[in-house]
Structure 1
Amino acid sequence: MKKVYFSFLVLMSVILNAQVVFESSLSEAFKKAKEQNKQVFIEYYNSDCSVCKRLGDLLRTDQEVSTFYNKRFINYAMNSNESLSEEDNNFITKANLHFESVPILLYFDKNQNFLHHSGVTVTSEHVINEAKKAILPDYNTSGLKAKYDAGDRSVRTLYAYCDMLKVNKNDIMLTKVAQDLFESFKKEELPTNKSYVILKQVVNSSDNGFFQYWINNVDKLKDFETGQKAGTEILSLEKIVLKELSDPNVKKWDLTKKNKFKQYILKLKITDNPEVFFE
């Protein structure tokens, strides 16, 4: 009997150790972070999202991930599908974070200063690597502005900084940095998936070089998406055009700009009557 009981305890220990330990509240997470001198990890997710569910399974069953996160972080799960508590909502607002999709991995220091964020590839390698970036100032998101201000114009830094500016809804700076990204990008790689991903993820202006390349090469804008999204690549261009056409002053645009956008509308087949946007 004792042997069976001992085996049960060992089994339960293995199961528990395979789970990332999540705190019951954000305030409790930061309280423990100060007490233990650790950073805070927030799983920002939506309970109706299939990718989020896969991430949740990984965080709660993968031994390597749970060991890494439980040792280095105090962890908290924030479900964006539910009405966020006043504490959670105020925290996200104060951090100036605006997400268009989930799940997101978020990392803060013990004093609630933002360190790093990342979208998710549901593998233990990705989830651990993003945590390692959060720990290192040379790799985490919070150091990107300093790198940019110091003159770093590498594609990696510029793309990451664009992603951060997008999350912060700093559209003016995003427009500038996204163009810097185009200037630093190898032009022979423009027809590639790498270029398409940049267009899709961070370009916010039709004046941007990536937009201009793809609007002039729409026939090549294909075979980058798979599964249910296959064939939807052109939507990345449409999104930018429609956003700019939502300008309340669109009717006051000069003739040159109107004609340029009419060409975009027809090329993207948004409508065969582009005048409707300017009436």
Structure 2
Amino acid sequence: MRAIKILGFFFLISFAGFGQINWQPTLAEAFKQAKVENKLVLVECFHPQCSHCISLNQNLDDPEIQRVLNEKYINYRIDISNRIQYQELKDRNISLIQWPVFLVFNKEDSLTNYVEPTELLASLKLQLANVEFSSDLKCDRVGIEEPNIDLLSKCGVYYRMTQNIEKNNEMANYLYFWLNQENIGSEKSWMVYKKSVSSSDNLLAQFWLQNLSLATQYEKSENVVKEIMAAQLQTKMISLYKSDKLTPQDVVTLKEELTKIGADETKILSFTWNLELITLIKSGDFKNAKILCNKVVNQFPTPGAFITVFRLINDQMNTSELNSFFEENIEVLTQKAVKNQELSKELLLQSARFYSKANNLKACRESLQKAAELGFNQQQEFEEKYCR
């Protein structure tokens, strides 16, 4: 009897994983196993409160789908609501624009494809059986000689997810060319645009910025259209901020585009002040730079806003022309931030940098000492960099 029980135990162990997708415990383990088995890594991204995601996960209980996923891929899943898991995508510079979605990586940890899974079980089986699902998108080969709007749109989404704005704009220009052959003002064009395009620096975006009423007709909501446009202008703002070729005209153009979508003065200021301040500092126009700084902190009178302005000044210049703005605000700001340890610490660090520019090395060291008392553990490193 005991022997039968032991055999039964091993029988259960042997089939414990039968009929289930072999989800890896971590993404790192998935890539490790992919190299061993020479397979692609499939990452299911879902949100527990998303109805489409719930339907998908029910379909993943299908034995045929489980067999295909286990045979063809090393599998891992990311709960978008789990900040630690989602960080695994952010670490790879991937930003999801919708879910559920299957991301396909090669064993070298590069995203090569993605699939937006359907809710219908039969359609999902066809998707997973499609050999194209496993292949590289080859977006670098798609362009003016490839009149495939669906593929161009998919590549646009791919570059949007991987935050490659330059390539996304390139795909958007190709889309504009081919959509213009059909009907650039069609509902299909709008749907392709809002899904595939991440910035406004392309012909397709410029067309829809000029035709907001037509977009509203298709979307049936002016606010939704404005939100879509605002998100793309924000992406443009981030791209300009990172660029070493930022010009005053770029700032003017961005303001004009924000005005087109009905942004008020406060919204325009929040989108453009950092870009404008950089151009003023680069041109040596410190008088107007100070005026702009005061305008920002008057409009957004919080310690966080002050510190953000302080940090940008410190990052952009090594001279003391804007020290007066710092000196006029530091005392009151210190009192406001004292209740928040992290804000106080950051304020002290930025203060040390300002004192360094003014060659007030004693005040620089004192600020870093106070920051150390709040938990800053790089005091010596910062002293050597700024206070000597």
Distance 2:209 2:44 in 1: 37
User: How does 1:162-241 map onto structure 2 within 5 Å?
Assistant: 162-222=156-216, 224-225=218-219, 232-241=224-233
* Equivalent residue number for residue 155 of structure 2: 161
Report how far residue 194 of structure 1 moved: 2.0
2:154 touches 2:196 (CA, 8 Å); kept in 1? no
Does residue 270 of structure 1 match 2:263? yes
* Equivalent residue number for residue 295 of structure 2: none
- The two structures have a TM-score, normalised by structure 1, of 0.68
Distance 1:106 1:275 in 2: 36
Distance 2:230 2:48 in 1: 30
Report how far residue 56 of structure 1 moved: 1.9
* Equivalent residue number for residue 123 of structure 1: 120
Task: State the 4+ residue runs in structure 1 displaced beyond 6 angstroms.
Answer: 248-251, 272-275
2:127 touches 2:133 (CA, 8 Å); kept in 1? no
Higher mean C-alpha displacement, 62-71 vs 192-201: 62-71
User: How does 1:1-279 map onto structure 2 within 5 Å?
Assistant: 17=19, 19-60=20-61, 62-84=62-84, 89=87, 92=89, 95-124=92-121, 125-126=123-124, 128-129=126-127, 132-133=130-131, 136-137=134-135, 140-141=136-137, 143-145=138-140, 147-148=141-142, 152=146, 154-222=148-216, 224-225=218-219, 232-241=224-233, 243-244=235-236, 252-253=248-249, 257=253, 260-261=256-257, 265=259, 267-271=260-264
Aligned CA distance change for structure 1 residues 168 and 31 (closer, same or farther; 3 Å): closer
* Equivalent residue number for residue 6 of structure 1: none
Distance 1:67 1:101 in 2: 26
Distance 1:231 1:274 in 2: 15
* Equivalent residue number for residue 337 of structure 2: none
Q: Size of the alignment, in residue pairs? A: 253
Aligned CA distance change for structure 1 residues 217 and 115 (closer, same or farther; 3 Å): closer
Q: State the one-letter code of the partner of 2:188.
A: K
Report how far residue 20 of structure 1 moved: 3.1
Report how far residue 129 of structure 1 moved: 1.4
1:121 touches 1:127 (CA, 8 Å); kept in 2? no
1:30 touches 1:112 (CA, 8 Å); kept in 2? yes
Distance 1:51 1:198 in 2: 21
1:107 touches 1:134 (CA, 8 Å); kept in 2? no
Distance 2:23 2:37 in 1: 15
Report how far residue 182 of structure 1 moved: 0.9
2:197 touches 2:205 (CA, 8 Å); kept in 1? yes
Q: Which of the two has greater helix per residue? A: 2
1:116 touches 1:134 (CA, 8 Å); kept in 2? no
Larger Rg: 2
Q: Higher relative CO (CA 8 A, sep ≥ 6), structure 1 or 2?
A: 1
Aligned CA distance change for structure 1 residues 132 and 275 (closer, same or farther; 3 Å): closer
Aligned CA distance change for structure 1 residues 132 and 115 (closer, same or farther; 3 Å): farther
SS of 2:44 mapped into structure 1: strand
Distance 1:258 1:107 in 2: 35
Distance 2:222 2:75 in 1: 36
Q: What root-mean-square deviation, in Å, do the aligned CA atoms of Structure 1 and Structure 2 show?
A: 4.1
SS of 1:40 mapped into structure 2: strand
- The two structures have a TM-score, normalised by structure 2, of 0.52
Aligned CA distance change for structure 1 residues 79 and 232 (closer, same or farther; 3 Å): same
SS of 2:224 mapped into structure 1: coil
Q: State the one-letter code of the partner of 1:183.
A: F
1:45 touches 1:103 (CA, 8 Å); kept in 2? yes
Distance 1:254 1:135 in 2: 40
Distance 1:275 1:96 in 2: 27
Aligned CA distance change for structure 1 residues 101 and 31 (closer, same or farther; 3 Å): same
Aligned CA distance change for structure 1 residues 33 and 48 (closer, same or farther; 3 Å): same
Structure 2, unmatched stretches of 5+, are: 1-10, 274-291, 293-388
2:40 touches 2:74 (CA, 8 Å); kept in 1? yes
* Equivalent residue number for residue 5 of structure 1: none
Report how far residue 273 of structure 1 moved: 8.7
* Equivalent residue number for residue 3 of structure 1: none
Aligned CA distance change for structure 1 residues 256 and 112 (closer, same or farther; 3 Å): closer
Deviation track 1:244-270 (CA, whole Å, cap 9, x = no partner) reads: 567669994389747843xx62x5333
